[in-house]
Amino acid sequence: MDPALWIELIVFVVLLGFSGFFSSTETSLFSLSQFQLDQMRAAKNPRIELIERLRSEPRRLIVTILIGNEFVNVSASVISAAMIIHLFGADNEMINLLVMVPILLLFGEITPKVLAIRNNVAFANAECCPIALFARLITPLREVIRHVAEFFITLIVGKQRSAG
């Protein structure tokens, strides 16, 4: 097999792993119950403060996760298209769609989310530090996207009224 194809395959698998990471992070952090958080606090879990800080700003967290997931999913699709072209030629782009949708759904979304919901405390503990670092790294981009999204939300539903 062509060395370029091997490199593309390795990059694709790494991107698929990151897709699973972002999907499972979303599920694990947002599915923690108050009881589980209380148990983590009582057990003096060293990551409880970070987990609670991440959860305290759900919009910030979801935008962070969506930016990461979209980036890796689009990148994985581009890489898989390059692999399909190497293997089958440029006239077979439909193969990419037929291959990528099931692969991304199974390995980038469904399986990671099912595993994370079954083991949400363990996943939250493992994923809170990397997602916090990623959130810090993309702060400028996230803020631009958040402001643009809020602009469109305001256009669609109007200004949010404050309680009281």
164 pLDDT more than 50: no
Task: Please indicate whether residue 82 or residue 39 has the higher confidence score (pLDDT).
Answer: 39
Q: Does pLDDT of 116 surpass 60?
A: yes
CA-to-CA distance for 17 and 21, rounded, in angstroms? 6
Among 38, 24, 55, 42, CA closest to 118: 24
Task: Round to whole Å and give the CA distance between 115 and 85.
Answer: 33
Look up residue 142 and give its two tokens: 């996230």
Q: Is the pTM of this model over 0.85?
A: yes
Q: With bands split at pLDDT 50, 70 and 90, how would you rate the model's confidence at 30?
A: very high
Residue pLDDT, tens place only, 33-66: 999 999 999 999 999 999 999 999 998 999 999 9
